[in-house]
């Protein structure tokens, strides 16, 4: 089972990086959106 996980991670390394960047940007946008009402 561990070898299958390693194989899947190696096969999709580029998309995992893109997904991680996308998730981080969504988190940043959420935090900014929640702080916007306090700035006005």
Q: Where residue 8 falls among pLDDT bands split at 50, 70, 90? A: confident
Q: List the domain range (segments joined by +) for residue 15.
A: 2-39
Structure confidence by residue, pLDDT tens digits, 9-38: 888 888 999 999 999 999 999 999 999 988
Distance CA 37, CA 39 (A): 5
Closest CA to 3 of 16, 14, 11: 11
Number of domains present in the structure of the chain? 1
Structure token pair of residue 35: 């702080």
Mean pLDDT of 5-9: 88
pLDDT, residue 40, reads 74
pLDDT, residue 22, reads 97
pTM for this prediction? 0.66
Mean pLDDT of 3-9: 89
Distance CA 8, CA 2 (A): 10
Half-sphere exposure of 3 (CA within 13 A, CB side): 0
**Alpha helices (H) in 1-40, listed in sequence order:** 2-11, 13-39
């Amino acid at each position: 089972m561990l070898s299958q996980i390693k194989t899947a991670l190696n096969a999709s390394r580029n998309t995992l990086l893109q997904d991680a960047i996308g998730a981080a940007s969504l988190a940043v946008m959420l935090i900014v959106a929640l702080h916007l009402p306090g700035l006005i």
